Amino acid sequence: MPTTPTALAEFPGGARLFGLSPRVAHLNHGSFGAVPGPVARARRRLLTEADADPDAFFLAAPDRLATARGRVADHLGADREGIAFVTNATEAANLVMDTLRLRQDDEILVTDHGYGTVVSAAASRARLNTVALDPALPDEDAVHQTVLAAVTPRTTVALLDQISSPTARPIATPRLLADLAERGVTTVVDGAHAPGMLADPLAGRPDFWFGNLHKWGYAPPGSAVLAVAAAHRAAVPAPVPSWEDHRGFPRAVEYRATTDYTGWLAAPEGLDLLACLGAQQVRAHNSALAAYGAELLARITGLTPLPGDDSLAMRALRLPPGVARTHDEATALREEIAARLGCRVLIWPWPGGGGIRICGQIYNRPQEYEHLAAGLHSLLAGR
């Protein structure tokens, strides 16, 4: 076991900012995020306010949403009128597909690293052209070439991950987006992990981009944004046509009659907190922790680190052949790791043998990865 590098000193006050159970090692921030106390409290204050005077709260909601959206846009480097609050990446993907008014014979290019619900949104509207990306492809160039080579004359849309979920792999790079646009392909980027994780989440300015604020942006669950290039904004339908419909994007997308807006209104607090902690320091800390965890896991026989991006706070490794080949096998292993080791990780299925993804966050400690690695070693050896 390598000694814990001093660079991995605790992030000052990191763990205390969250209300996470100390009985569990939460090494899976990338799936659902976690809400820091100050953000949760800001949301509770908004709920109290709504309960105290519902008329005042709901009548002011559209304008307050616009203000909150502006703060989020400033953090993301987006145009204040070019993004809209949405509930999550899955909703955004469906909204984009409705905007595009696809015909059944239009072809949407996706990869086999795409997130299930997002790919389903495309599959239900048009034909998929699914590019197989070997998780072991060595570098960005190889991914770039493989995706571009799959474009056909019928490819109208490419729906690509900015950072893939299971394999933590950058795919929709600015260079790839530019090359796709040059071929007349409309680009849609699933940036679920980008807000908070990347310094320039909208890099490459695709036609459509969506990102969750509730993962790496410390916002309450159900907070995401959809960014739409100016040329497409008028075509975006309102998910729930209501009183702001006549105002078009983004207000028509955001205002959904009487519902709970407190998560969106509190979302800027999450990004403010990240900025206050020092976004660069947080990212450096998180990626160093994830790298340390991956290094420990890679010492287990049969586990192979996958190429990714060293600056990210997520790392993926292939599991030994024959482990987690199917969804059911992956779920069973994930649950066994949770029950026996008290660790939350993502286990992803893949034909022949799946993989494990771990994350680093300011509430994590090196000892948690050491515990996971030691436990996983015994658990796999016992199979």
Ligand X SMILES: Cc1ncc(COP(=O)(O)O)c(C=O)c1O
Residues binding ligand X (CB under 6 A)? 31, 88-90, 115, 117-118, 161, 165, 190, 192-193, 212
Closest to ligand X by CB, 165 vs 287, is 165
Residue 173 or 212 having the CB closest to ligand X: 212
Compare residues 36 and 211 and give the one whose CB is closer to ligand X. 211
Parallel/antiparallel/unpaired status of strands 304-305 and 83-86: unpaired
Please classify residue 308 by burial: count the beta carbons closer than 10 Å to its beta carbon, then call 0-12 exposed, 13-18 middle and 19+ buried. buried
Shortest distance in whole angstroms from residue 89 CB to ligand X: 4
- CB 177 to ligand X: min, Å: 16
Structure tokens at 353: 């043998």
The residue (of 118 and 143) whose beta carbon lies closer to ligand X is: 118
Contacts of 174 (CB under 8 A, 6+ apart): 203, 204
Nearer to ligand X, 57 or 348 (CB): 348
Q: Cis link prior to 250 (omega < 30° from 0)? A: yes
Nearest 5°: phi and psi at 311?
-85, -5
Q: Tell me the C-alpha distance between 114 and 81, whole Å.
A: 28
- Closest approach of ligand X to the CB of residue 60, in Å: 27
The least distance separating ligand X from the CB of residue 122, rounded to whole angstroms, comes to 12
Local structure of 134: helix, strand or coil: coil
CA 340 to each of CA 292, 358, 374: distance values in angstroms, whole numbers, following the listed order: 22, 17, 12
Measured distance CA(211)–CA(308) in Å, rounded: 19
Q: How many CB atoms lie within 10 A of CB 375?
A: 16
Q: How far is the CB of 55 from ligand X (least distance, A)?
A: 31
Nearest to residue 270, comparing CAs of 80, 68, 65?
68
Name which of 166 and 250 has its Cβ closer to ligand X.
166
Q: What is the residue whose two structure tokens read 């205002």?
A: 255
Smaller CB distance to ligand X: residue 57 or 208?
Answer: 208
Give the ranges where the chain is alpha helix by DSSP (H): 29-32, 37-52, 54-76, 89-99, 116-123, 140-149, 174-182, 251-254, 262-277, 279-297, 327-336, 366-381
Taking the complex as a whole, the smallest distance from the CB of residue 31 to ligand X amounts, in Å, to 5
Please, which residue, 90 or 373, has the CB nearer to ligand X?
A: 90
The H or E element that residue 314 is part of is strand 314-318
Minimum CB separation of residue 5 from ligand X in Å reads: 28
Rounded least distance, CB 212 to ligand X, Å = 5
